[in-house]
Amino acid sequence: MASNAKSSVEHKRHIERYALAAGIVQPLITLPQIVDIYSNQSARDVSLITWMGYLAFGLVFLVYGIVFNLRPIWIGQVVWVTMQTIIVIGILKYG
């Protein structure tokens, strides 16, 4: 029984590591959009409403992750909120 419980804990740790990695890598996929906005100095085809919505909900999930001490959630949301903020600033500046 103890071996089974240990295996379950190890399994959960592996899943948490994968979730943490995904939470960091997924927002980084937004980098090409950021590069495009800032290098072309144009956000004409990028929706401010969409990115403000992403940012607002990202902040909700960031607070949720912090309050419930869900490390993969709050770490991933710190990265997401950063990317979303950079895009919103780019839209406001170049839109």
Provide the CA 17 distance to its chain's centre, in angstroms. 15
**Residue-level pLDDT at 2:** 62
Question: Is 43 in contact with 94 (CB distance < 8 Å)?
Answer: yes
Cα separations in angstroms, 13 against 5, 48, 55, 70, 71: 12, 38, 29, 13, 12
Q: What is the CATH number of the domain that holds 76?
A: 1.20.1280.290
Owning domain of residue 86:
2-94
**Residue-level pLDDT at 19:** 86
**Residue-level pLDDT at 24:** 87
Average pLDDT over residues 65-91: 95
CA distance 37 to 25: 20
Tell me the pTM: 0.83
How many domains would you assign to the chain?
A: 1
When the pLDDT of each residue in the chain is averaged and rounded to a whole number, the result is: 92
